[in-house]
Amino acid sequence: MTPVVRTVQDVAPAVVNIHTARIVEQEVNPFGTLFDDQLFRHFFGDQDLTRRFEQRSLGSGVIIDGRKNLVLTNAHVIEGASTIRVRLLDGRQYDGELVGSDPDFDLAVLHLKDARDLPQVAMGDSSDMMIGETVIAIGNPFGFGNTVTTGVVSAMGRTIETKQGTFTDFIQTDAAINPGNSGGPLMNLAGELVGINTAIYAEAQGIGFAIPINKARRVVDELVSLGRVQAVWLGLEGQDVDERIAGYLGLGEARGMVVTQVHEPAVEAAGIRPGDVIMSVGRVDVEDRGHYLRILRNYTLGQDAVLDVAGQGGRRTVTARMQPFTDEKALEMAAKRWGLTVQVRGRALAVAGVRPGSPAQQLGLKPGDVLVKIAGEAQASLTDFARAFKRYRMANTVMLLVARDGRGYHVRLRV
């Protein structure tokens, strides 16, 4: 009965299999490449070329609250799912209801319907983990039993870049983590949950990553109470560092973000001024303003960020607290920076007003135009629009899909 065996036996009942099904739509042309879709419709009428089929996937999760029937897993495990089925090690199965999910943190919380007498895992503290500490990764990828791998903590605070975005503050381990184990627990030898395993980094071989439980708990609190994670910011706007600015400040290389405006008094009081260059956030080097925004999506409300700032007085370290970035603030800023206001019209989002001389007017947008997509993200509500502005507010060019008189146009909004 080694510590690993004891931990696995204690935790195994709380590790679950998650089986999801999603409906995928795909256009099918019966003539292959002989006719394109438009030519097919010309000869054969407006027939429905869409075919729907069910796509299934498997993943893992862990019960974090047996009394409230809550399961924690990865967001990508349940992404797009139309049905979620959760199976326990003892054979019990329950329908899973999505409480909340956030792809920026790759975390999701499920509620098990009509479940009783559920086991749960003991929570640990990921802040006191040490390099070389033994950890155990547990998953339930097929629903018939758990899979277990062991390793050591290789590094803390790792940052990785994926197609899904920038993810910071990972636990790195050499314990093998495969896609079926994604969402399962990372345990210490005291039998405590210290991380949530994730398999989003497909390029990694012999390397596993886990989301620290201290970070996950902050996200869980917001998902359970609000159903989402509140957007945060430091109240800063900026631009990329060019060679001239880098030379003037003696930076050595053109990277970072030059602060052009400070909107939040609390951040201004921390000592950040226009003209300062944000070199790093939380020990993650900032490449440009887009990278700065991606890093901030790893933070939650009220969390402190340590910034490395360069200015005329040299380099300094500043600690600033994350502030709420409300939808109302985003709509107000969009009216100023992009020059347009929007309103919901039926099931669509339409342009309500265009400010004279603004980027929106120069583009030719008019009241009544329908905003279908912003940077590829569908728009149907003020929340959708606010979310898109928060993400692309500092971009010089934003791609829009606009509908006018029943026809769609891809246009570039240049700011």
In whole numbers, what is the pLDDT of the chain averaged over residues? 89
CA 285 – CA 287 distance, rounded (Å): 6
Rg (CA), the chain: 24
- In CATH terms, 1-229 corresponds, of 3.40.630.180, 1.10.599.10, 3.40.50.300, 2.40.10.120, to 2.40.10.120
Which of 97, 74, 78, 94 lies closest to 86 in space, CA to CA?
94
CB 181 within 8 A of CB 197: yes
The 10s digit of each residue's pLDDT in 269-281 is 989 999 999 999 9
* Greater pLDDT, 143 or 362: 362
On the question of pLDDT at 384 being above 90, the answer is: yes
Q: Which of the given ranges, 50-64, 205-219, 277-291, has the highest pLDDT on average? A: 277-291
Q: Can you spell out the DSSP letters for 181-206?
A: GTT-EEE-TTSEEEEEEE---TT-SS
The 10s digit of each residue's pLDDT in 161-202 is 877 778 889 999 999 887 788 999 999 999 999 999 997 665
CA 392 – CA 355 distance, rounded (Å): 19
Annotated catalytic residues are: 76, 106, 182
CB 289 within 8 A of CB 394: yes
CB 138 within 8 A of CB 148: yes
The 10s digit of each residue's pLDDT in 315-345 is 999 999 999 999 999 999 999 999 999 999 9
Domain 327-414's class? mainly beta
Tell me how many degrees the CA angle 60-66-69 measures, rounded to the nearest 5.
70
Under DSSP, is residue 260 helix (H, G, I), strand (E, B) or coil?
Answer: strand
Total-model pTM? 0.82
Residue type, 274: P
Q: For 107-117, what is the mean pLDDT?
A: 96
CA 227 – CA 102 distance, rounded (Å): 9
CB 296 within 8 A of CB 258: no
Fold equal for 1-229 and 233-324? no
CB 193 within 8 A of CB 199: no
Give the least confident one: 157-166, 224-233, 253-262, 291-300.
157-166
Question: In what helix (H) or strand (E) does residue 93 lie, and over which residues does it extend?
Answer: strand 93-102
β-strands 407-414, 370-374 pairing: unpaired
Instruction: Measure Cα distances from 206 to 133, 149, 154, 162 in Å.
Output: 17, 12, 11, 17
Q: For 209-219, what is the mean pLDDT?
A: 95
Neighbours of 95 (CB within 10 A): 14
What per-residue confidence (pLDDT) applies to 35? 47
Q: For 288-293, what is the mean pLDDT?
A: 94
Give the single-character DSSP code of 13. Answer: G
On the question of pLDDT at 41 being above 70, the answer is: no
What per-residue confidence (pLDDT) applies to 53? 59
Q: For 286-299, what is the mean pLDDT?
A: 93
CA 137 – CA 194 distance, rounded (Å): 10
Domain ranges of the chain: 1-229, 233-324, 327-414
What per-residue confidence (pLDDT) applies to 406? 85
What per-residue confidence (pLDDT) applies to 51? 64
Which of 146, 170, 144, 148 lies closest to 157 in space, CA to CA?
170
Per-residue pLDDT band for 34 (boundaries 50, 70, 90) equals very low
- In CATH terms, 233-324 corresponds, of 3.40.50.2300, 1.50.10.10, 2.30.42.10, 3.90.245.10, to 2.30.42.10
On the question of pLDDT at 42 being above 70, the answer is: no
Query: What is the length of the chain?
Result: 415
Neighbours of 368 (CB within 10 A): 11
- In a 10 Å sphere around its CB, with 0-12 CB exposed, 13-18 middle and 19+ buried, how is residue 147 labelled? middle
Q: Which two tokens mark 127?
A: 């802040």
What per-residue confidence (pLDDT) applies to 50? 60
Dihedral sign, Cα of residue 66, residue 70, residue 72, residue 78: positive
Residue type, 182: S
